[in-house]
Each structure stands twice: as structure tokens, then as C-alpha cells.
A and B are shown apart, each in its own frame.
Chain A
Amino acid sequence: MRQIIDIEGNVISPDLLPKVAKKELVKWLDIMIAVRVLDEKGMRLQRQGRIGFHIPTTGQEAHVGAAAAIKDKDWIFPAYREHGLAIYRGIALADIVNHLFANDLDPQKGRRLPGLFGDSRIRFINPSAPIGTQIVQAAGAGYAARYKKDGSVSIVFFGDGATSSNDFHSGMNFGAVTKAATVFICQNNQWAISVPLSKQTATKQLVDKATGYGMPGIQIDGNDIFAMFTAVREAAQRARKGNGPTFIESVTYRLGPHTSSDDPSKYRSENDVELWRQKEPIGRFSKYLINEGIIDKDEPQRIHSKYDQIFNELISEADNRSTPPLETMFEDVFETMPWYLEEQLEEALRFTKE
């Protein structure tokens, strides 16, 4: 398993440590903490009954390294715990918060559960909820990139549970056969809601699955942002050169519940969670930056406070807005509204006026 810094932030694989500008490293930390604060806010809003649902991300923030490893023109197919890639690419934080509240400014027009958002401007695909469907789609996009010869790649995220899905098989197989410019990244966070990895697969480790599809695989410490960054960069370069896809098994852990509707105490022990809490990505990367003298020891808290304030302001603005107008329910089924949807819209409007 590739690990470049240990849980104390010490460099244990100096030959693999990438050369990255200090400013960029601080940006990584900044985005990781933004994701953490967004998670804290989302869970609290859900518990307060102000939003209906929340999908936690805490413990998996090293995915930010993948955004840093690719180019802006590359396509990202997220699962649903990869908000950091969108934030790294500059999605408007207000768009995310308006989406959480499903208000009239939500770019998704209030149609999705909180946490399921995308943005075409940053090539961050709007995720599904059926598990694994994006895997084969990313392979198709990776094929299209090669067809268009524009030097782009696609990267796709999915969980350990998704490796059992039809579309994992389809995506890995189609991607390998067509030499699609795609990077497959499994965020193995050990749990598919309540089902542990041992019940998901009989293989010793998920990375072994790459062999069966005829593509290289690499297992990385998914809580080490340097391991994520270097593995994705190498895989993306390989894909860009036309040498086909790579499978990355990123070993991480979901520290929170599956969603706000889940109670993990029913299926896993707090001791295990505590062990993994020691390995979480933000703390160890902060220690590395402090050890290297790149930031002072108070910087993580300052960044946290900054985002706390930013999100608080966005939340109070978003919370006071109205729901999207009724017309939006009938839009975007097709490019233009057919006669029967016009009729149904009229009917729906009649009932709101009464």
C-alpha cells in the first residue's frame, strides 16, 4: 500500500514525495477543511430539521488530492462524498448551500437530496443515487476524450460496495478493452451502509480486481493526500498518453454514519471508529505542514473559523429564500415542454391558486 506520510505527518517514503509549491499545499489543506466544515454544518442543519438529509464526508477529505492531480479540462464523475473536488475547482459555495436548502437559487432546482449536486461549468458530473452507474459512464467519457483527441481524461469515484455492482464490471471491462482515458478510484471506506467489505467480496483486497480486467491497479492509503495526489497523477498521465485506465483502491474510512438516516452503532464498534479517527487525513496533513514549517500550528483552526463564518452567512441567506416556483417541476424533462406537460403544469397551477 502506498503511504507517503504517516499518521504523525512524518515522511516515510521520501522518494515518492511530490514536489508541490507551498502555496498549493496550503490550498489543499484549505479545501480539506472546507469540506469538513461543510459536513459539520450539514449534519447540524439536518439534526435541526432545517434540511431534510445529509451525506457525511468526514474522514475522506484526502480526495482533494485527486482534484489537484488533474487538469481543469478533465471530467470528474463523483459518487457523493467528493465535494472537495468541486470546491477545489471553484464551485460557488453559495450554489452548494442553496442546493442543500433546495431553494429557488439551487442550480438543481430543488430536485435532489442534499449532497447530490454537480456543475457543468467545472465538469463535475451531477451524481446519481443508484450505486455504480457513473463508473461505466466515466469509461464512455474517457473513450470520447480519446476519440476527440483533446488530451482530457475522466476520473470516477465509487465506494467499496459499488465494486459489486453491474456497472463496476461494465465500466472496468469497457474501459480496459477500449483503452479509455479513465482513472477508476475506489474509495474503500470499509462500509456499504452496514455491510462490511468482508461480505462484499471474497478477494483479499479490492485492488486485485484490476488484474482480472487487464489493467494496472494500485492500493494507496486513502487518508494520505500525497498518496492520492501521486497515484491519480500517474494514472491520469498514463491515460492521457493513450495507455488505458488504472484502478486505484484508496483505503479510507467513513468516520460518520452512511447518511443522516443511518445509526452505525448497530453494526460497528466505537473502538474501530476511534482507531481510524487517529488516521484521519486532515490532522496528519496539518502535522506535516507544521513539521515542515509551511504553516504555524494555529493555521488549521484559522481556516476552520474562516469557513465557519463563510458557511454561516451563506446558510442564513439560503434559509430565508423560497422554494423553486412550481413551473420548474415540469422543466428539463425534455429540452422543450411537450403538450401534455403543459397541460399538467396548468392543472398543478390551478391547485396552487385555489
Chain B
Amino acid sequence: MAELTIIEAVRLALDQEMARDESVVLLGEDIGPDGGVFRATQGLYEKYGGKRVLDTPLNESGIIGFAVGMALYGLRPVAEIQFADFIWPAMDQIVSEVAKFRYRSGGMFTVPMVIRTPYGGGVKGAIYHSQSPEAYFAHTPGLKIVIPSSPYDTKGLLAASIRDPDPVLFFEPKRIYRAFREEVPEEDYTIPLGQASVVRSGNDVTILAYGAMLHVAMDAAERAMEQHKIDCEVIDLRTLVPLDIETIEASVKKTGRVISVTESPKTAGFGAELSALVAERWIEYIESPIIRVTGYDTPFPFVLEHDYMPSAEKVLDGIIRSFNF
């Protein structure tokens, strides 16, 4: 078993799904001989050829619209949007077409596809290479949203997304693309969409996170234990839509204290949805304010990005406030 980074796990999943199913076709900008700007598709053009690893014109709306036609025809397109910040031109195709084809046709036409895109800050990417737009898509019925936080999960979740009958937005935390390695089996496996993972068990405070923020949350949880003897439970949501409500429920009922950690702006971010769900469903179990640790309601900054983003210190502060309330 090899030790892989997240970006290597993406590549392995794409490679194995292409080998497994001829209908899997990749398309995007610079994904061919260049192997993608983050090298997610490195070597795949050479292995599968330009028809299956299609370098497209520079047009995100075109990439997604073209993928819709491929999916209608019966292919399984995996489209890469080079940065999540560049996804907006494709918004109409994603919201009006990808998300609604099954519904508007009474189930007659479906467009199973995966839209992969690197997201998130902390990489000195500034205003247009750092954003986390998942909440915009969570608001649109018909889209599944998956965000891995580890190499093992990346491979299993991406394979499951490509095989899924519904369209999936697969946001990849580029800040941790190469941050660490872990063992990723060569063997075929999938992680079902809609299943969260309890990454750290604890009894005092529940922390809900995903993607790169999962690691910030874990760092804070360890410090809370070491420095304050507060025992946090950390849940990696992995799939935002559909959300694993049962795992969250069990933890919230156990701890009665909840913090969410997301790096997008605070207002109407996914943390707001988590807070609302917890308050609406289990208010009688709640011991303290449901806290959101988020980015700020500004465009994404450049030199001040580490002040903008949630840090272990900010999460730890939230843990203490929650615990001492």
C-alpha cells in the first residue's frame, strides 16, 4: 500500500475509474499534456489519449454545458474547473441545467457528472484563487456536494462520486493537496456519499468541519485537551449534501455544545445552516450558544489571509467560550 498525498489520491481515483469504465471522460483547461495546474491529471493524457483527457477552450460555462451533453448521451464526464473562484461563468449551466435536468424532465433525462474544483485559502492565492463557494451550491436542489479532508477519503469519495447517479460537486482542499501522506489502498473501494466521519471522539464539545478546516479543528481539539482538559468530538462532514444528520445528532445529544468551522464568509455560509439545523432540531440538548468560526464577510484578502482564515487559536477560543458558557 502506497502513502499518497491528496492530489495523488485524486489522480489515482481518476486513473482507476477511467480504467474501470470507458464512459469516464475528463475535460477541463490544461488537463492534457500539462497534467493540470495542480497536476491532478498528470500522466493520464499519455495513458488514455486526448479524447478521454480533453483539453478544452478557456470557457468554464462551455466546459460544464459540454459535459451536460456528454452526460445526456451516456458518458460519465469529470469536469475540472481550474479554481473554484472561476466557477461563476458556469453558474447558469450548473444551477439551471445540471441541477434540474432530472427534475424538469420527470426523471427521463439525467446528467450524472462530477465537477472537480480546488477551493480554499491559505496558499497565497489572493482574492481570485482562494474562495470557498460551497454554500452557493448547497442552496441549489439537485446537486450533491462532497469535500474530502484526507488522501484515503479523497480516493473513496471521488470514486463514489463518479459512480453516483446524480451530479456531484467535488471541492478539493488545495491548501492540503500536498500537506501530508497517508496509506491509500490500490484496491477498489468507495466511501458512500452522505456519511460523515467521527475523527476524534469526545464528550464535551462537538466540532463540525470539512476539508482543510478539519485539520484546523483537530489541532484546536488537541490543544483544548492538553491545555484545558476539554474533550472535543470532531466530525468530518465529508458530504455537505446530503448531510449525515444522524452522526451529527448523536454527537450533539452527547455534548450539548456545538461549533462549526468553515473558511468561507460568515453570513449565510454553510456554518449558518449547521447552526440552524442544530437549533431547530435539538435545542433542548443545547447548553451554550452554537458558535460559527468562519472567514470574515470581506472578499478574500492577500497578505492578511492568515488573519482572515479560521486558525487553531480562533477555534480554541470558540471551544473555551462554548465550554465555559
Contacts and interface: CB of A to CB of B under 8 A. Distances in A.
B272 interface: no
B93 interface: yes
Contact of A147 (B71, B72, B75, B245): B75
Nearest to B243: A340
A139 B66 contact: yes
Contact of A170 (B66, B77, B194): B66
Contacts of A136: 61-62, 65-66, 68-69, 93
A69 B105 CA distance: 26
Nearest to A145: B73
A339 interface: yes
Contacts of A130: 92, 96-97
Interface stretch (A238-246, A273-281, A314-322, A326-334): A326-334
B98 to A, nearest CB: 10
A335 B166 contact: yes
Contact of B61 (A108, A140, A167): A167
B108 interface: yes
Interface in A131-171: 133, 135-145, 147-148, 154, 166-167, 169-171
Interface stretch (B52-60, B153-161, B202-210): B52-60
A184 interface: no
Interface string A291-313: 00000000000000000000000
A144 B245 contact: no
B242 A340 contact: yes
Contacts of A142: 69
Contacts of A190: none
Name the residue in B68, B71, B72 with the highest tally of chain A Cβ atoms < 10 Å from its Cβ: B72
A106 interface: yes
B69 A108 contact: no
Contacts of A352: none
Interface string B217-242: 00000000000000000000000011
Contacts, number: 150
Contact of B73 (A126, A148, A169, A333): A148
Contacts of A112: 104
A331 B142 CA distance: 11
Interface residues of A, number: 48
Interface string B23-66: 00100000000000000000000000001101011010110011
B109 interface: yes
B168 to A, nearest CB: 11
A118 interface: yes
Nearest to B277: A340
Given A141-B69, A335-B166, A173 B62 contact: yes
Given A125-B72, A178-B54, A338-B242, A120 B108 contact: yes
B169 to A, nearest CB: 13
A206 B80 CA distance: 33
Contact of B75 (A133, A135, A144, A335): A144
Given A145-B73, A333-B103, A339-B245, A140 B67 contact: yes
Contacts of A106: 106
B25 A147 contact: yes
A138 B59 CA distance: 16
B144 interface: yes
Contact of A75 (B73, B96, B108): B73
Nearest to A178: B54
Given A109-B106, A126-B108, A174 B73 contact: no
B72 A141 contact: yes
Contacts of A166: 61, 89, 92
B105 A140 contact: no
Nearest to B246: A339
Interface in B101-127: 101-110
B70 interface: yes
B141 interface: yes
A138 B93 CA distance: 13
A174 B57 CA distance: 7
A286 to B, nearest CB: 35
B165 interface: yes
A169 B89 CA distance: 13
A128 interface: yes
A120 B73 contact: no
A315 B59 CA distance: 45
B185 interface: no
A193 interface: no
A137 B68 contact: yes
A111 interface: yes
B194 A338 contact: yes
Contact of A174 (B25, B62, B96, B101): B62
Contacts of A208: none
A216 interface: no
Given A75-B73, A142-B69, A333 B56 contact: no
A119 B72 contact: no
Q: Closest 8 CB pairs between A and B?
A: A140-B69, A136-B65, A170-B62, A144-B73, A126-B105, A140-B66, A141-B69, A338-B242
Interface of A: 75, 77, 106-109, 111-112, 116, 118-120, 125-126, 128, 130, 133, 135-145, 147-148, 154, 166-167, 169-171, 173-174, 177-178, 331-335, 338-340
Given A116-B104, A166-B92, A338-B242, 18 more contacts: A75-B72, A106-B106, A120-B105, A125-B72, A126-B101, A128-B97, A133-B97, A139-B69, A140-B65, A140-B69, A141-B73, A143-B66, A167-B65, A169-B62, A174-B56, A174-B65, A177-B57, A340-B243
12 contacts: A108-B106, A112-B104, A118-B109, A125-B109, A130-B92, A137-B66, A139-B69, A147-B51, A173-B57, A334-B144, A340-B242, A340-B245
